[in-house]
Structure 1
Amino acid sequence: MPFSLVYASDSPFEPPSILGVLLRTPLRFAVYATYHFFNSLRVTPAPLSTPPVRVVCVSDTHNLKQRIPDGDILIHAGDLTNGGSLSELQAQIDWLNSLPHQHKVAIAGNHDTYLDPRSRRTLAEEDRNGKLDWKDVQYLQHSSVTLRVPSTKAGSNGNGHSHGRRLKLYGAPQIPECGGPEHAFQYQRGRDAFTDTVPRDVDILITHTPAKWHLDLPLRSGLGCEYLAREVRRVRPALHVFGHVHVEAGKEVAFWDAGQKAYETAMSRPVRGLIRGLLDVGMWIQLALVAFWGVRNVIWDRVWCGETRGTIMVNAGLMRGNTGRLGNKVRVVDI
């Protein structure tokens, strides 16, 4: 997680300072650090096919372009634009369409105003009434698509035979409210907009918002959605791609075990300040559970060579913080 030396602003989208976190939520910081330390020692889930399917994950390009590595599937997890006008969206679609990836999939973000009929009303008339040409880009809005990714292997006689793998992708753009009426697909924070909406057989889930407490500035307040977190736990896709929180761009694995449950329970406890926080018995219990399960799971992975399936979670935002410039690493995942 990124930190600054001091709080840069009161914006929930800015990273916190180490000192501020320690003075306000010392045990929450300990839980966070312990969970991520042990998670970093665990084995990333192996691809389910040989050769694997290469998924290139991007998000939050905000009208800009960046060099994109090759792969089988290109996913854009929303905020293609800044103002969400028809012309801005078409320019980004044309750029995605020009890339060589066999499959290209995109969802909307809160800045993609035109794509939500409610926020579209805030645009100029020429933008409200026009139409987009998605070309070869598959747009998902509370919908799914099944993609076939072919591959070729050489047989013992030197002849190639073709086979493929099918992957089901589901995309949902809705996010907890974070702006005015020009922002798309917003719902009131605390409202359940996800339960039982994602098909159980989804391999790749694409949302614009993160799940709560995962790559969403959890030591601030957690900008993700708690109901999405429950839905991802229920479905357990191989890959979850999202964006929205630029400063948390990165990758982690959710293993859906007791240690992760203890982490999420601890992070959900109210912030009590330095003294009351240190006296929070419940938080101490959750910290002990995170440490216990962390040690146990690392031993299982590294010593006993056990394999635990999990969900690879990717915050694919390319915008470097709130600078207005791209530059974050493009995340490539083999599944």
Structure 2
Amino acid sequence: MTILHISDTHGQHTKLANLPAADVIVHSGDFTFGGSEQEAIEFMQWFCDLPYKHKAFIAGNHDMCMYGADKIEGLPENVHYLCNSSVVIDGVKFYGLPMFMEDVMDGTYDKLISAIPDDTDVLVTHQPPYGILDGGEYHGKQDFHYGDYKLYAKVLDVRPKLHLFGHDHNVYGFEEHFGTVFSNAAVVDSHYVLKKETPLTYNI
């Protein structure tokens, strides 16, 4: 199975060109910029029309209009919105954990991290795990980490084959640690300008 990973398109999805072939395309959140319902609808229309056999996406912290929408009616059978939920595609279990600031602030997010299933093959989150593809500048502060400690510990415990995320616009690429390939596919930089990077694909 070939998986194409994109993230943090922030309303600029239609500018993505020459996306490579894959069996599954995964978007790990922040498909909107302002979090409006109209932005989300436009993204989903584009995403549903992409020529991939299977498609999966989660919400990021910018996608506020998705808060409380655990399921989306009317999506094609091959398009999966993962909201603290999973889907098995050709024997591979994908699990998606969105990032909503309401959940982060009231402690729900930590509980949702703890609930990630142990048999997850491909984990899709918006936030990185602490210390992996999560470092950059934040309002003048250097060496700022966007990642989460509890998420790092959970991934270390679950050991998925792939952990797909974004959120940190300063880092793009992949690393492998303790048998898991970690991928940050944020396609815009810190100024929300599309980066000219090679699309990230993985075979599992």
| TM-score, normalization by structure 2 | 0.86
Specify whether residues 195 and 80 from structure 1 end up closer, same or farther in structure 2 by C-alpha distance, changes over 3 A only.
Answer: closer
Aligned partners of 2:160, 2:198: CA distance in 1, in Å? 23
The counterpart of 1:78, out of the listed 15, 29, 44, is 29
The match for 2:40 is 89
Matched residue, 1:20: none
Cα 1:230/1:194, change in 2 over 3 Å: farther
Report matched runs for 1:40-119 at 5 Å. Answer: 53-65=1-13, 66-67=16-17, 68-117=19-68
- Paired with 1:247 and 1:133, the residues of 2 have a C-alpha distance of 35
Contact 1:110 1:185 in 2 (8 A): no
Quick one: structure 1 residues 321 and 133, their matched pair in 2 at CA, closer, same or farther if it must change by over 3 Å?
farther
Correspondent of 2:79 among 134, 137, 148: 137
Match for residue 173 of structure 1 among 80, 86, 98: 98
- Residue deviations 1:51-82 (CA, integer Å, cap 9, x gap): xx100000000111202211011000000111
126, 132, 146: which one pairs with 1:208?
126
Cα distance, 1:132 vs. partner? 6.3
Q: What SS does structure 1 have at the residue aligned with 2:114?
A: coil
Q: Which structure has more helix as a fraction of its residues?
A: 1
How far 1:84 sits from its partner (Å)? 1.5
Q: Which has the larger radius of gyration?
A: 1
Determine the C-alpha separation between the residues in 2 that align with 1:329 and 1:132: 33
Residues 264-286 of structure 1, C-alpha deviation per residue, up to 9 Å, x if partnerless? xxxxxxxxxxxxxxxxxxxxxxx
Q: Which runs of 5+ in 1 are unaligned?
A: 1-52, 119-130, 149-165, 178-183, 256-309
Q: Corresponding residue for 1:332?
A: 201
CA RMSD in angstroms, aligned pairs only: 2.2
Q: Percent identity?
A: 34
Shift of 1:185: 4.7
Mapped partners of 1:132, 1:324: distance in 2 = 32
Q: Is the 8 A contact 2:104 2:110 kept in 1?
A: no
Amino acid at match of 2:116: V
Structure-1 residue corresponding to 2:105: 187
C-alpha separation in 2, matches of 1:138 and 1:111:
19
Displacement after TM superposition at 1:193 (Å): 3.9
**DSSP 3-state at the match of 2:187:** coil
Distance 1:187 1:328 in 2: 33
- Give the counterpart of 1:226 among 137, 140, 149: 149
Helix, strand or coil: the match of 2:145? coil
1:238 aligns with one of 150, 153, 161: 161
Q: How far, CA to CA, are the matches of 1:328 and 1:320 in structure 2?
A: 11
Mapped partners of 1:142, 1:209: distance in 2: 14
